Each structure stands twice: as C-alpha cells, then as structure tokens.
Structure 1
Amino acid sequence: MVRTRAIIGFAAVPTLVLGVAATAVAAGASAGTGYVPELTEPRLVPNAGFEESATAPARWVVTGTASVVGAPVHGGDRALRTVDESGATGVSVRSQALSAGPGERLTASVWAQRGVGLAGTLELRFWRIDGRPAEVANKGRDLADVYGWQLVAVAVTVPDDAVTATVVLHTGAAAEGTTVWDDVSVRSEPAPSRQVPNAGFEELREAPAPTEWAVSGAASLVTEPVSGGRHALRTVDDSTSLEVSVRSRAVPVVPAEKVQATVQAQVLGGGAGALHLEFSRADGSTEDSWQESSDVVPVSGWQTVAVAMPVPEQAAFLTVRIGSSTAATGTTVWDEVRLRSSADVGYVPALGSGSVLFVGDQRVESTDGVTRVVHPGTKTGDPAIPGDLPGVVLPAGSWDANPRIGGTVLSGPDGRYRMWYTAADPTREPPCSYCTGYAESADGIHWDRSLHPGSVFPASPGGVVGNPRYTPADPVSARYFMLYAGGRSYFAASSPDGAAWAPLNGGQPILPGWDVGNVGYDPARGVFVAMTKQWTETAPYGPRTVWVSTSPDFVTWSPPRLAMSADVRDQDMVVAKNPADPTVLSEIYGMPAVRYGEQYLGLPWMFDITHSPTPRGDPGPDIGRSHIQLAASQDLLSWSRPARDDIITPGPAGSWDWGFQLTGTTMLTVGDQVWLYYSAFAGEHSCTAAKVAQGICTVPQGKARIGLITWPRDRFVSFRAGRGGGTLTTRPLAPTGSRLVVNVAPGEGELRAEVLTADGDPVPGYTLDDAEPVTADTLRTAVRWRAGDHLPDTGRPIRLRFSLTGGDLYSYAFT
C-alpha cells in the first residue's frame, strides 16, 4: 500500500482563483484530469459575453448598479461593470436558470478585473422547483487581490433538492468597489456511473450512525460543518492504539477500469484522516496490493482528498474507506464521497425517432417563463364491477381476495392481453401467501381469470417479459420469462404459454437481493433489465433503494449497481405531510423501468414511513403509505426527477387505492393512449387493527385491487407557459430524422420553434420569425418554417428553442 501526501499548487498561479481549498492525491494519480476521461460539456449561458445590448445586460437579472461597457473587455466588444458604493447593500447580477441534475457537477468561471476597491464574488446558486434556494454551503469564490484580468472559477456538485442553477456575479453587502466582468462560462460533468450508497451521509434510517456504512470506532452524523446537503460524517479518534474506520458498501467494477475516489474533508483537530480505495474478488478475498490511500493535509477549511488506481485483474468490487490510522488521533469531518471511472460516459447528443419527454432534464439546457407540470393519469376501470371502485379492472376473486401488482400486463400477437399478478392462494397445496395469478382480456378492461382458476406459480411475479428469441416451432423454446424472489435471492422461471411455469437455471439464484423486484426488456439495447432491492446480509439492513442489473439471456446478470435512492427532497416531502413527527422516513419500495421513446421511464414507489419499530433490524414492520412518481434516465443509472408530484391520485381515506400503491412493470401504448396498470391496498403497509387501536396507524392493510390509469400519448409532464409566454432551450441534439414534430396543447396561445447552432446562434431561415405557429391541440404535428418542414443540414449537432405563448408543451421527436 502506498500512502503519500501532496498539495495541488493552485495558489502558485496568482490570476487563477479556484473553488478548492486544497487537494490531497495518492501517488501515481492525477488531481482529476487525465486519469479518468474528461467528460465536461459546455452549457449555454444566455448572453454570457454581455454582447446582446449596449446598455443593460440582456437576459440577466440585476439588483443594484450594473451596466454594459465598451472598455475594458476580455473578449468581444462589451463587458459588464458593477459599481457598489454602499456599505449596506450589494450589487447582484444573475443569469437565467440552467437545468441541473443531482450528482451532476457544474463548474462556473468568469473573467474579472478589479477597479476601485475589492468587491466581487462569483457564485453558483441552486434552486428548488418551487423557486426556493436549495441547500448548498461554501459555493462562492471571491476575486483575488490582483490587478489585470483574472479567471475566477467555482465547482459544485448539484445538491439533491436542486432542479436549476444560476450564475451570480455579486458584491457582499458590506463590500464597496467597481468590478468588470466578461466571458461567463459553465461546464457540466455528468453524475458518475458508479455510486457509493449514501455518499453524502443524508440517509437517516440509522441516524446518528451513517446508514449503509460499516463503522468501527467513533463516527456519527453532524449538521455542522457540512460541504453539501444537511449532514456530514464526523470521526473522532482519541486513541493511539485503535483506529476509526468507516467502510462503504461494495460497488461493482471491471478489471483494468480506472477509478478515482474523492471526498471532502475538514480537519477540526489533530491530523487523523485518510481516504482508502480497496478492491476485492467476488468472494470477498483481496490482496495487500489491491488498495491505495491518501491522507488529509493540515489545512483549514474544506479540502478535496483524492485517490485513484486501476482495478486489479480478478477484482470484482471496490469499497471506499475513510477514517484514521491506529497511531493517529484527531477529529475530522467528511462529506460528498464521489467516484469517477474510465467507464463513465458523457452527454450523448444522438437521438433516434422516439419521443423526448420532459419527465427529466437530461435534454433541457435552460428555461425562462415556463413551469413544469405533472399530469396524473385518468382512472379507467371496468364499469361492470360492483361497488365504488373507480379505476378497478380486477377485483377480489373466488380464491384471490387481494389481487395486486407487482406483476405485468402484456399484449400478445393474437391481440389478447395477459396479466400476471400477485395474490395469496389458500387453495394451493401447500397454501401460498405470495403466488402468481393469471388472467386474460380481449380489450384490457374486462378480465377473465376462469381459464386458469387458482394460482399458476407458487411465488410472486417480479415481472414477466416476452422472450424476443422465442421460436414457436421449437418445443423447448420459452415464450415468457419471470423474475421472482425467494429468501435472499432472485430466481427465474420460463413458460411456453404464460400459465405453465418451470424454474430456470436449475432452480438456482440468478441475482442476489430480496423482496420485490421488477423486470422488463429494453428493445433499444436488446437486454433484460432487473430493478431490485439489495439489502445487506445482516442487520442493519439499510434503507429501501433501487439497484439495476442487465442480462442478455435472463440467466446471466450483471452485478447490481445502485440506481436510485430517496434524497433530502423526498425527506422534506414526507416531513411536510407529518410535521408533528420529525422521525418519519422516505424510501423507495420498488421501481419498474420502462423504455419509452428516447429515454427510460422509472415508476418509483415512494414509501412514506411514519413508524419504523426496528430501524436497524427487519424493515418489514415499517408502517406508512406509498405513492407513485415518474423519473427519467438515459442509462438506467442516473435518474432525473425534477417534478415529484404523484401520477396516481388516491381516493379518500379507506378507498381502495388510498393506502399503498404499486405499479405493473409495463406501460402499454394503445392507439393514442398510454396505459399503466397499478394496484393498491386500502390501508397502510403493515398496519393491523391492533395497531390502529394503539394509535400507530389509521387504516389496516388489505382490500387490494388492480386498476388502470391512462394518458394521451406522451402527456405525462409538460412545460406550461406563464403569463407573457416563455422559452425552453435544449442541449445539443444530433437527430437521425429530418423533421421535427411536437406534442402540444397551446390553448389560446401558440408554439414556435427555432433552430440554433450548438453555440446558441440562430440558424438562418430557421429563426422564430421564420417559424410558422402551431396553434392546434395536437399529439403529433410537424413544425414548419418558411423554408419548409425539413431541418437544416448543418453537419453538426443543433439546439432547439421553443417559444410558447400559452398552454403546454409535452414532447418533441424527430422523424
């Protein structure tokens, strides 16, 4: 093991001011560039060079005295000058909002020149979807006390509760002086493809212990100081004979992959602290040479500690460990653990012919004057079912008193719909608490389960997929595959007809994990996708989170990788619903992932836990309700959820879908509609009559049913124009199609689309003035310009700028 100490000499360059106090790096590793690929991409800051107007800075919001000047300038013909003559109020100039995704890292920079006095700070500010500031600490950078032009830069990881970011050039309230600013830029680095669970120490299930980290010695969560979010981890070592060690959960890696780990650290006393990167085989064994470390350095404030090395041959997992050595003593605070890998992939502008939705922000550069709106589905049930059960298509049956999904609905080549669902079967020998039921339908609304009375498999389906390689002439070819859970593993089964099932893989597990899982098929990549739970083998088990694996054949699967967990914004939402109880928790009970157009859609089952009797033990007794949101991803690993309103509106307390909602694993396109089957218990998870009597919960779990909600095609989430209209600008796009089509309901207004170069300049002939307005409510209409309805052949990626004077824009596509 090599242990070294190094400081990156930012201070040696007097005209460069970076937002990093100090950096420690292990020998042989770079400080962040070169060892792992440079994946940053430029973001389009409107009027970044202040060239659009000769007087005021167009498309910037000004508070105080700021004007455009012709000299001095760093680039172009104009720059911005701020003048602060008050010792009580400051000057602020704020850019338009850029979209920002959790885990993304933004670097803002500006060229600045001091005039009289010393008044100037560059800051990245982050904003929640409701317009309130997100919780970010220590994210500004002051100008240096030097003359001439200086480059000021600050790098920040987007906090979990943020959806947009703005660049702010400002002076402090007490500062006075004149500053000239020019050539603002923002670059973004995508969220890492490999995530350390609870990397920001924000999960609270085991508080004050750090959830999902193994602790030896004194380590606990603190709220001050923090580098990001609300919590950090403090280690205290007051012994010269014992070490403090905090170790992450294992993260899958590939031999020869290059990995870099970083952590923000602040020494509060002594000199005790090191970051370790350690590798192991699939069976947990390791070698002495399979680890690298880097010490913290004795400086004040936050420092970035980094360590990197290639993945050894035969290694399958890495762990990150932070803490102190046996002989060292002292107190250190840690925050924002981050992995970078040579396997990381940057932003990909290529687009096929599928719809681009606004569920996530992956393709959104910036917006102005529009708000994102979630549109819940319409409950579409079987009207012949008795009782007040809006949306229900499958009620209680003769043997299945509580039918529910987890499960799947598929439409077959014969035009019939097939449903696999979960239910208890007391008629089976032996009786089965979690079995697979089967039903068929000619129209997806009226279901017949009499074809196969009783359950068809003695386990609950974690989803059923059609086999794309099914060969009808082959008698051993399977038409369907099923994922199901058993003990602490997931298993596979196959069927020729959907009713007769047999275990695959000799009945041996195909994946680790337990409890609910959701499986689907990704036609874009030709792989099966499993979204599972990966609790640890022993208590404490940690929170409910979502992990992803893929398979080419449904038997051989990639090791599960963390895909999504609840964050501080989810925690705020559940606390807001239960303000009298700050101990409530937000977790993700499960999440199907579906390929839809040019993105994956996730259906996270958000679990609002109002009572957890065993937070460090079996989570099964947790009590609470669940509700369904939407998320979007380009790679199944990094998910965007800027708007977190529910997509299924529950009925009143005690109604069939009030309590605990779940969804199926498929979203079916039926004509111009999209169908999603879902289920619910009327009551709360693990709530019993006895617990109601104790005041622990209000409605007992039970009375499960299966329902259906529908949307017009693509109309899940929209951008809605405010009074006076608004705009949406995309990130660079490289479409294969030559025509742009939109899904829009402009109301009394209209939509126009402008084509821009990747640098943001309008393409002649395709400006807003050249665009023909779209005024009709339409699911799919081609956009036209004076030159016609074909896009310009620029040979390079383009951007789109949509201008909407009213109504909602739901999606766009290239054909």
Structure 2
Amino acid sequence: MSLRALRRRPVVAALALILPFLVPAAAQQAAAENVAPEPVAALPNPSFEELDGDRPAQWILDETRAQTLAVVDTARTGERAVEITNPSGQAIALRSTPVTTRPGATVTGSVWYRSVSGAAAWFYLEFWNAAGTRITERHVAPAPAADWTQTTVSATAPNGTVAATVLLYGSSTTTGVSLADDAALDPGYAPPDPGIGTQVQLFHDLDRVASMDQVGRVVHEAETTEQPLITPTEPWESDNVYVYGTAIVDDGVHKLWYHAYNREIGDYFTLYATSPDGRTWTKPSLGLVEYDGSTDNNIVGTMHSPTVIKDAADPDPDRRYKMLAFEYGPERGYTVYFSPDGLRWTPCDCNPVDDGADVANMFHDPNTGLYTVTWKQPHTDGRRAVFLSTSTDFETWTEPELIFEADERDQQQAVGNGLENAQVYGMPVVPYEGRYVGFPWMYSYAGAGEAGTAGDGPIDVQLAFSDDLRAWQRDDRRPVIPRGVPGSWDYGMVFTSSALIESGDELLLYYGAWNGWHGTTDRQAAVGLARWRRDGFASLVNGGDRPGTATTTPFVATGDELRLNAALDKRGSLRVEVLDENGVPIPGFGAGQARPIIGDRVDHLARWRVGVWADLEGRTVSLRFHLDGGDLYSYRQQDAG
C-alpha cells in the first residue's frame, strides 16, 4: 500500500530565549522602558497599600520622566491610593511588576480612577517578550470622572509574549491630576501543575514550554492511503461508502460501522465490516436486515451518523455495545441503541433523546467516566456548530452546550477563498493521554447547491486540542487529512471515524471521502486510512542548520527513567539538560554530560555520563532540550521495566 508523503509546515512559535527582565528596552512610544526584573504569577500590591519609602512597593516610577507621584489617603478601598500629577510638557509613568502570561491568552487589566483636575492618567495594558522588550500595547484615555470609576482594557497576548504589565501614564501632551486605586491584571493563564507524575507530556500546545530558541512547534498532517481501502461493491451501497461511524479493535479484530446512502430507495444504511489487519476488509453476510428480498448483506440498520462504543464495564450483557445515531421520519431526533454483539441493535424506549440536527460523535470518557457526545445542534445564526452533552446512563443527556464554532479567522479565510462563510459540520473528539484531540470537519459554505443537498462547499479535517472539552486551541488550520486534486476519489469532502485506534507505535483514523462537494448529487464516496506515529499530532522541531533549545516549565521528578519520543534527522541529535528550581544546571545533568540521542524511536532513554534520573526523585526540575535537526513529540517519566 503506497502512502502519501507527510507534509510538514511549522506553526511559528516564540523563538526567544527567556531571560530575566533586566535589560531596558530600546526607546519606544509611551514609556516603554525599564521593566521590573522577574515576572510573577499575580499582580503584587494592586491597591498601593505597601510602601517602599514614599513610593508604592513593587511598582516602578520611570525615573526619566516626571517624579510628581504621591501616595495619599484618599483611597477607594483600604488606606492608600496614588495621586498622579501630570505637569505641563512632561510625561509621568508608573508601571506594575510584570505578570506571567502566554501567547494567545486573553489578558485583562483594570484600575479605578478619580479626577482631581484636568485630564486623567491614561491606562495601558502592555505585552513583553523574553528580552524585556515591549511587543505591543492597548490603552484607553479615560474621560474625567468626579467619582471613582473603573476603566478596563482586554487584549489577546501576541506571539512571543511572556509577561504583561499595566501602566498609568500621563502624556506630555496633557495636564491634570488624578487618583488611582485597586488595579488588577488577569493574565488569562495559570501556570501548569508541576505534579505531572508519569503522564505523557505532549506538545499539543506550549503550556509546559517556558521558552524556545531556534525551535518551533509543528502540527502534523497524517500519512494517508493513496487509494481507498473500502469501496462500494454491493447494490445496497449504491456508489458511496463513508465513515459517519466508528472503527475499533475488538478482541484483536478490526471492526467498522460505516455508512451508505442508497439512492434507489432514498435511505441510509448502517453497515458492518471486519479486518484482521485494518487494511484488508470483509463485508460479512449477517442475515439481519432485508434488502431487495434478501438478508444476504452486511446491513445492521438504517440509522444516520451511527457512532459505537464497546462498554465492557456494563453489567448487562445486552448493553455491551452502545450506539448513538440520528433518525429521520416521524420520530426524528438523536436516538440510542443497545446490542450484545454490535450487530443486533435494540432501540431505547427513551428515544429520541434529543431533537438536534443530524450529526453526532460519541465516546466514553475515561477522564470523567461519562458518556460524552459532540453533536450538531440548531445554532442562533443558522450556521452549523458543535455542542457537547454528557450522560451517566446513556439515556438521559445534559442540555447541549456550545463548545466549538467557526470564528472570525475561519470566516475571513472562507471569504478570502471566494466562499460565503465557514461552519463546523461535526467534530469527533478522542481522549488521548489525559487530554482531548478534536477533528473538526470545517465546512466552507459556497451557497445553496443542488436541490436537496442543504448547501454546497468542501469539507476539510483540522486538528484541535483541549484540556477540558470547552476551551479549544487550533493555531494551525491547515487540513491534516488533505483532500485530493479535482477528479480524485477524495477531492470534495472528508469525514472521520469517531474513534482513534492505537496500534503499536501508530495512531489510526479511518475516514470517508467524497469526490464532490456537498452541494452535488452525482458524487461518490469511499473509505481511507490516516496514520500518525504515537504522540504524533504535534512536535517541537529544529531544522538542523542551527541548534536550538526548548525549556520546560518546572515539574516534580519521579520514576527511574526519562523517556522521549523523537525522530532525529540523519545527522541530528537531541541532548537533555536538567535544571534545578532556579534554572541552574544540576551537577551531573548538564548539557555537556548528556549523552546524545540519535535516530527515530518512540521510547528513547535519556542518559547522562554521571547523573541518574532516579536520583532526582522529589526534586523540582526543568528540562532543557538541545535539539539539532529533528522532531521531539513527547516526554515521560516512568519506572524501569
């Protein structure tokens, strides 16, 4: 079986080495110099109650500008506030201690102010990089207010951000006296828990990466089959078979519940196939559902968008397999079914469990123990979006909650490509290593399409990542299962299985592809296979022309050894340096003492000439990866053997 070559393009991430904030920035607009030394987790002394001499402690008054600042007892809360006098022709600047944040975080700053005379001090929210240089800012010029009034600024932290500050600034173009109290700075980000234990650490985001230099982050496309693995060969399949459905490995057998639309009778069939290896598939004769006067077929039902799980923990053997699907007709809505064998399905008396729309993807969440579904629901603007519901018994489901929709960036891209808008047709979600990976089906809506098609346009599969199923990160929006060229079997639309199969060192995701857009009626469909290496959805990467480093956030060391999933180039290498809680290399674990890792393995062992990982048990450490040509996919602590 030939495979399409993996195409990899880096998502540009912060390439700055994190340094203490000791070096003043070059001359910039509006008092952009002299950042305080070290970023902290929370804004200190927000109400100016603590003093350092006659100045508010942990705030910096710019010494190159006016010094007309006083601490006064005319406070909004507590005992103190600051009085900012902005002299004619001079500027004054009072800046907070920097607070740690990260790119993409929604950062909010606020302060309460009161005018005494003239113009009130302007209020800035500033973003800083690792070199101590201000990247950008947002500010407001508050209107004079005789009573205490709150002013607020929010912004998304740009790439390269490591910290944010708030600034009270009197411009040289204004004069006035104002009071300020009760400042606040919400970084929109909490430092990760250092207690990672033996959990695999992935690079689905950069939450646990403190800094990078000459290293980027890549989201990887899958390797896909050049030709389909399953094609329509039976009369009940018409000219289309596709994966609105589920593929699992059950007792060593690959099992697939897939879909076909029979054009002759105008109905959907849920079909069943098996494979010993996931590549060669058999459509067994099941004798269950009659088609054209015979049950010699692999039909198990007429459900739409069927997704299946095997629930080995259910004490009722007749509920061992569970399905959530959609039914058209008088009982239109989302429906659930139970089966002892995955073939003979009994509808629940509780049906329909929700009115909904017509696309659902369901899984049993090992993180929460809940049955969980991401399903299409009516949306306020008529565009397709993804909603979340959960259940403890598979019969009663929580009120659908909107968790994922096309955003402004998607809309701009769709319009830029000559289409009308962007929508999300569906999104299978799979739990993976304690987190969640989503495969949103991004629908670029091009108009009404042919009669009965409910709109036209292509559908692409992207990757999205989440810790909690509600907040999703999708920085790279390229398709990860690329559609083919016009005329190919997978040109028009791609849909994926609701389940990911972990097979040895590979991750397998079956998908259905159409050769035409949604709004055409003469399109055909077939089933293909997408593959990633284990932990292979994203990685840290270095091109090999200049060595780079990436440093993790602190964590507590445990276990006997440190393992890494990495693919190094032919002349590439990876060394692991271990730092203490102060960022200083630990004796025996320095970069010069680390043995180089070479080659391509999912379980490289980190070693040092002197140091032994088990000796670090209980210590707070960080890792500095020295990467020279290749990809680092994950790292984990574990006990030997």
Answer whether contact 2:506 2:533 (CA < 8 A) is retained.
yes
Equivalent of 1:509, from 338, 352, 359? Answer: 352
Q: Deviations over 1:284-306 (max 9, x none)?
A: xxxxxxxxxxxxxxxxxxxxxxx
Q: Deviations over 1:592-623 (max 9, x none)?
A: 11011132111111111122589xxx996221
Answer whether contact 2:566 2:600 (CA < 8 A) is retained.
yes
| Residue 226 (structure 1) aligns with | none
Q: Structure 1 stretch 587-596 or stretch 348-357: which is displaced more?
A: 348-357
CA drift of 1:166 comes to 5.3
Amino acid across the alignment from 2:340: P
Which runs of 5 or more residues in structure 1 are unaligned?
1-43, 51-55, 88-94, 110-118, 128-132, 144-152, 177-184, 191-344, 381-389, 689-699
Q: Check if 1:590 corresponds to 2:426.
A: yes
| Residue 13 (structure 2) aligns with | none
| Residue 475 (structure 2) aligns with | 642
Q: What is the percent sequence identity of the aligned residues?
A: 31
Answer whether contact 1:528 1:554 (CA < 8 A) is retained.
yes
| Residue 165 (structure 1) aligns with | 161
Q: Check if 1:569 corresponds to 2:404.
A: no
Q: Deviations over 1:140-176 (max 9, x none)?
A: 4799xxxxxxxxx9863537xx66535589999x979
Answer whether contact 1:66 1:83 (CA < 8 A) is retained.
no
Q: Map of 1:362-377 to 2, 5 A cutoff?
A: 362-377=207-222
Amino acid across the alignment from 1:652: V
Answer whether contact 1:163 1:642 (CA < 8 A) is retained.
no
| Residue 543 (structure 1) aligns with | 383
Amino acid across the alignment from 1:720: V
Query: 1: CA distance between counterparts of 2:208 and 2:511?
Result: 29
Equivalent of 2:343, from 481, 499, 508? Answer: 499
| Residue 676 (structure 1) aligns with | 509
Query: 2: CA distance between counterparts of 1:814 and 1:188?
Result: 30
Query: 1: CA distance between counterparts of 2:350 and 2:446?
Result: 38
Answer whether contact 1:408 1:419 (CA < 8 A) is retained.
yes
Answer whether contact 1:96 1:366 (CA < 8 A) is retained.
no
| Residue 457 (structure 2) aligns with | 624
CA drift of 1:449 comes to 0.8
Query: 1: CA distance between counterparts of 2:257 and 2:162?
Result: 48
Equivalent of 2:257, from 411, 415, 420? Answer: 420
| Residue 483 (structure 1) aligns with | 324
Q: Check if 1:357 corresponds to 2:195.
A: no
Query: 1: CA distance between counterparts of 2:435 and 2:400?
Result: 20
Q: Map of 1:605-624 to 2, 5 A cutoff?
A: 605-612=441-448, 621-624=454-457
Question: 3-state SS of the aligned residue for 2:409?
Answer: helix
Task: Quickly say closer, same or farther: Cα 1:770–1:105, change in 2 above 3 A.
Answer: farther
Query: 1: CA distance between counterparts of 2:581 and 2:427?
Result: 35
CA drift of 1:646 comes to 1.5
CA drift of 1:734 comes to 5.1
Task: Quickly say closer, same or farther: Cα 1:761–1:557, change in 2 above 3 A.
Answer: farther
Amino acid across the alignment from 2:321: Y
Query: 1: CA distance between counterparts of 2:138 and 2:35?
Result: 26
Q: Check if 1:604 corresponds to 2:427.
A: no
Task: Quickly say closer, same or farther: Cα 1:61–1:730, change in 2 above 3 A.
Answer: farther
Q: Map of 1:716-731 to 2, 5 A cutoff?
A: 716-721=537-542, 723-731=545-553
Q: Check if 1:455 corresponds to 2:299.
A: yes
Answer whether contact 1:438 1:456 (CA < 8 A) is retained.
yes
Task: Quickly say closer, same or farther: Cα 1:69–1:545, change in 2 above 3 A.
Answer: closer
Query: 2: CA distance between counterparts of 1:799 and 1:417?
Result: 41
Q: Deviations over 1:22-69 (max 9, x none)?
A: xxxxxxxxxxxxxxxxxxxxxx9933441xxxxx56xx7887997899
Query: 2: CA distance between counterparts of 1:434 and 1:791?
Result: 61
- Aligned residues between the structures: 536
| Residue 745 (structure 1) aligns with | 567
| Residue 283 (structure 1) aligns with | none
| Residue 782 (structure 1) aligns with | 605
Task: Quickly say closer, same or farther: Cα 1:175–1:703, change in 2 above 3 A.
Answer: farther
Aligned Cα root-mean-square deviation (Å): 4.7
Query: 1: CA distance between counterparts of 2:57 and 2:588?
Result: 28
Query: 1: CA distance between counterparts of 2:619 and 2:503?
Result: 36
Answer whether contact 2:128 2:163 (CA < 8 A) is retained.
no
Amino acid across the alignment from 1:443: D
Query: 2: CA distance between counterparts of 1:808 and 1:62?
Result: 38
CA drift of 1:624 comes to 0.8
CA drift of 1:445 comes to 0.7
Query: 1: CA distance between counterparts of 2:244 and 2:337?
Result: 16
Query: 1: CA distance between counterparts of 2:191 and 2:162?
Result: 22
Q: Deviations over 1:247-273 (max 9, x none)?
A: xxxxxxxxxxxxxxxxxxxxxxxxxxx
Q: Structure 1 stretch 369-378 or stretch 657-666: which is displaced more?
A: 369-378
Answer whether contact 1:756 1:762 (CA < 8 A) is retained.
yes
Question: 3-state SS of the aligned residue for 2:508?
Answer: strand
Q: Deviations over 1:178-228 (max 9, x none)?
A: xxxxxxx986335xxxxxxxxxxxxxxxxxxxxxxxxxxxxxxxxxxxxxx
Task: Quickly say closer, same or farther: Cα 1:619–1:424, change in 2 above 3 A.
Answer: closer
Query: 2: CA distance between counterparts of 1:120 and 1:674?
Result: 53
